Structure 1
Amino acid sequence: MKIRIRIIWLLSTTFAILVLLFSAFVYVLSSNYVFNDFYDRLKTHTNTTIRIELDHRGDKEFVKEFKEEYLEKLPEENSIIVALDKQGKPLLNTKQSKEDSHFIQKVIRYKSGQERKGNLLKYGVLYVDKDGKSYVVYTSARNMYYTKYKNYLGGLLISLFFSAVVLIVVLSLWLSKRLIKPISDLSSSVHKIGTENLHFRIENKQERDELGELIRTMNNMLDRLETSFETQNNFISNASHELNTPLTSIIGQADLMLSKERSAEDYKTALNHILEQAEKLNKKTKALLFLARTGFDGKKMTIEKLRMDELIFETMETVNRIIPGNKIQFDFESLPENLDALEIKGNSQLLQLALSNVLLNASKYSDNQPVRIYLTHTKEAISVHVQDHGIGIPIQDLSHIYDPFFRASNTTSFEGYGIGLPLTRNIMRQHQGKIIVHSEEEIGTLVSLVIPYKS
């Protein structure tokens, strides 16, 4: 069932039930009011009968005239006076039924009373005159007003109910169309998006509600998708170039050697060149495969307790073997007083690889100038900071440093493949951490590896 139909059905049903309950409430209250009003009329007629028939004051004729002139004659009205003996028992005549007898007893017991049978209503009181004689005086009449009123009110409420249902359905149609329109517009906009126009963004006219939040989320997702596609395109372009260069060199060298007979020395030189290019190709291929593996979620990697200072020292030993005489120094003053803050959970080999990539880059791109390593920590994470004073990264290249095979425009005189930082970022993601790079050209670079304690 479509959302619009569900909205119409839900609103119509809900309001119809509310209108029905309200109509029933009005009907019941009105009915009670009609009966109470009729009992008040019976009470007035009963009291008037007492004034005329039993009261010993001299205004009987006036009251009788007043009753005949101003008091409305009720349908089948009948006023009855029943005398009581000295023991308080009613002196009934043969015309009075058992029901009348029960009603009279009720009036004697409670001093007054009322009774209803169908539309026949009775009201009576116990009256004691000046001579001490007791009487039960009651008036009965048929409430024909209730029958007419009930038919009129019932018909009116039924008409209003069906009119309200029609109005509710119309309003529900209009409201559902108004509510669904932003969603329909969103659906139409989403259909326009494809790989060829990922730059397209959905116009957000619902800034302050949940739909506006959804549109903002979708636009953010499109930002990430566009970046991902651009990164993928750059990766394919750079990878093709990086792999094609050694292959072209190998094929060209082989074709040259096979074009005619060569000396043994020429063949040896050519084979050494081919071997060199093949080794480069092998390194790039392995780097690509490792980069792809670290792009997974890392659920299967081995996690163990590690000491961050020990991890740093082991990595520095590895870097010392690769770049002898480097000037990488660890700042021991940055060690926390509480050594428990140095304990993390992670994969030792991957974290060493990530840190070694950063240290090698820092030493290489600073022409072996001093590189400082220091630690900071919070309640949530510990951070390793690597500060160099090298060539830095041009500002226009900072947004591409995580693209595989991308190399900054000022690194042409340095060897490298452009795999280190993308690989390091993947490793940090596997540990629910992050890498942060701050750099200024010709000033230096600060790389921070943030590793949460609960990784």
Structure 2
Amino acid sequence: MTIRNRLTFLFTAIVSGLLILFGLVLYIVAERLRESEYRQRLRAEATTSAELLFGRQAITPQLYRLLDKNQMTVLTQEEIIIYNYRNQIVYESGTDYLTVSKEQLDQIRLEGEVYWRVGDREIVGVLFTNHADRLVILASAVDKYGFSKQWDLAMLLVSGWFLATIIVFLAGRFFAGRALKPIRRVIASVDTITASQLSTRLTEGPDNDELSQLAQRFNQMLDRLEDAFRLQRTFVSNASHELRTPLTAITGQLEVALMAGDTEADLRIMVQSVLNDVRDLNRLTNGLLSLANVSLDESVVAMVPVALDELVWQTRSDLLRVRSDAVVVVEIGTTLPTSWRVNGNEALLRTALFNLSENGVKFSPNHRVSIKLMVEADSIVLTFHNQGTAIPPAELADIFKPFRRGSNGQHIAGHGIGLSLTQRIIQLHYGRLSVQSDDTQGTIFTLSLPQS
């Protein structure tokens, strides 16, 4: 069932139930008023009969019976019965609609007035006392016109309820459809969005209601998806290009070696060249795998307290073991040992520090990088400084993108993966990575991580 139908039926059921309750209350109140009014009329008939027959100026029963038959205001199927103190009938209007027991007569004498119903007939019994006797007068009749009005009222209420229910159903369906019209527009817009048309966006309404907020959130999600697809396409394209270069070089060298009759020395030189290309390909593949891994959701990365000062010294040792010509100068500020702790993944942080350190060594003419560790406010700040050729200002914004390299590194081996991988690792740790570069001070990478 659609939301429109569900809302329509729910709205109709609530209003219909309220109308039924209102109609029942109205009918019951009208019935009580009719009963009370008719009871007063019966009491008046009984009292009048007693006064005329047994009052101070009494008339004969024959005359009263004649007057009663020709009275214009006589009630439908009216019957008057009068009993004396011995429960003997001293007057009866001539009809025989009613039978009264001795217990009912005693109850009337005890309470003074009693009202009850037998089917449609309503009876009022009153006690009348004169100088000679204690009489019980019973007046009964059928409220034909009252019941007719009640029936007409019931039919009117049922017809009104039925008509109002139809109107409420139609109105509810109209307003529900009008209220859900923006959702139908959203559905129609979503149906047009495909993997090749991620640039399509939902129309955001002028009002800041829930539907407008939903459209805004959906558009924000589409922005993230479009960025992810664009990065994926760029990654695949660049990775394919980068992998093709060493593979082509290896294939070409092997084909040339097979066709040429080289000496053992020449073959050794060729094998060494192929080995270098294979190592380069291995580094590229590892970099691509690492970049793909850190692009996953940060919830799958295990975070524990890590001593950043110890990690800096370990990174220095790793770099010196790989590059014997490297000069790594570490300067650590004076503070409590616990102040260097951050909440993070040790392996990923070690990779990030190694990439920044190795980058400084590669681009520095004297292969020297200076690492400074200090505390600022609630963050730990590391700077990696080298005196290499400055990065052009126009290229600073792109060096953290995958496979992007500055023009100052065209003659230095690399694939443009390390900095993008490092930035992604720092983002996973809720940190910041920035760069400053000019011909005077060289290049400084500044890394900031929140303290544990």
TM-score higher than 0.5 here? yes
Name stretches of at least 5 consecutive residues in structure 1 with no aligned partner: 59-63, 85-89
**Which residue is 1:372 aligned to?**
372
TM-score, with length taken from structure 1: 0.76
Q: Which amino acid aligns with 1:169?
A: F
The one-letter code sitting in structure 2 at the alignment partner of 1:93 is I
Aligned to 2:113: 112
Residue pair 1:395, 1:440 contacting (<8 A) in 2 also: no
Residue 450 of structure 1: CA displacement? Answer: 4.8
How big is each residue's C-alpha offset from its partner over 1:331-384, in whole Å with a ceiling of 9 and x where there is no partner? 333x48xx499485x654344224433454467668846433235787xxxx54
Query: In structure 1, how many angstroms separate the alpha carbons of the residues matched to 2:152 and 2:190?
Result: 56
Match of 1:437 in 2: 433
Change (3 A) 1:313 1:438: same
Residue aligned with 2:89, SS:
coil
Distance in 2, matches of 1:98 and 1:39, equals: 19
Give the superposition deviation at 1:444.
Answer: 4.3
RMSD: 4.2
Q: Is the 8 A contact 1:308 1:342 kept in 2?
A: yes
- Aligned partners of 1:393 and 1:408 also within 8 Å: yes
CA distance in 1, matches of 2:137, 2:395: 107
Aligned equivalent of 2:381, options 381, 385, 395:
385
Aligned counterpart, 2:61: none
Question: Which SS does the other structure have where 1:76 is aligned?
Answer: coil
Go from structure 1 to structure 2 and tell me whether the alpha carbon gap of 1:444 and 1:400 turns closer, same or farther (over 3 Å shift). Answer: closer
The alignment partner of 1:122 has SS state of strand
- Point out where structure 2 has 5 or more consecutive residues left out of the alignment: 59-63
Q: For residue 41 of structure 2, what is the aligned residue in structure 1?
A: 41
- Which residue in 1 is equivalent to 2:331? 329
When structure 1 is superposed on structure 2, of 5-14 and 116-125 the one drifting more is: 5-14
Secondary structure at the counterpart of residue 434 of structure 1: coil
Q: Percent identity?
A: 27
Shift of 1:144: 0.9
Letter in 2 for 1:405: F
Distance 1:10 1:357, change over 3 A: same
The structure-2 alpha-carbon separation of the partners of 1:389 and 1:426, relative to structure 1 and needing over 3 Å to count, comes to closer
Distance in 1, matches of 2:54 and 2:75, equals 21
Q: Distance in 2 between matches of 1:241 and 1:8?
A: 59
- Preserved CA contact (<8 Å) 2:311 2:350: yes
Deviations 1:256-280 (A, max 9, x none): 5566555665554444333322221
Give the letter for the 1:385 counterpart: V
The size of the alignment, in residue pairs, is 428
CA distance in 2, matches of 1:413, 1:70: 129
Contact 1:363/1:371, CA 8 A, preserved across alignment: no
More displaced stretch, 385-394 vs 183-192: 385-394
Match of 1:416 in 2: 414
Cα distance, 1:306 vs structure 2 = 4.8
The aligned amino acid for 1:76 is Q
The one-letter code matched in structure 2 to 1:161 is: W
Q: d(CA) in 1 for partners of 2:358 and 2:43?
A: 108
Amino acid at match of 2:433: V
Q: How does 1:237-276 map to 2 (within 5 A)?
A: 237-255=237-255, 260=260, 266-276=266-276
CA distance in 2, matches of 1:29, 1:192: 60
Residues 428 and 435, structure 1, Cα contact 8 Å, conserved in 2:
yes
Task: Specify whether residues 425 and 434 from structure 1 end up closer, same or farther in structure 2 by C-alpha distance, changes over 3 A only.
Answer: farther
Contact 1:362/1:386 (<8 A) preserved? no
- Whether contact under 8 Å (1:11, 1:172) holds in the other structure is yes
Cα gap change, 1:37 to 1:366, in 2 (>3 Å): farther
How do 1:160-239 and structure 2 match up within 5 A?
Answer: 160-205=160-205, 207-239=207-239
Letter aligned with residue 179 of structure 1: A
In 2, Cα distance between equivalents of 1:215 and 1:14: 31
Label 1:159 to 1:262 Cα distance change in 2 as closer, same or farther (>3 A).
same
Note the 1:59-138 alignment, pairs <5 A: 72-84=73-85, 91-93=87-89, 99=100, 101-128=102-129, 131=131, 134-138=134-138
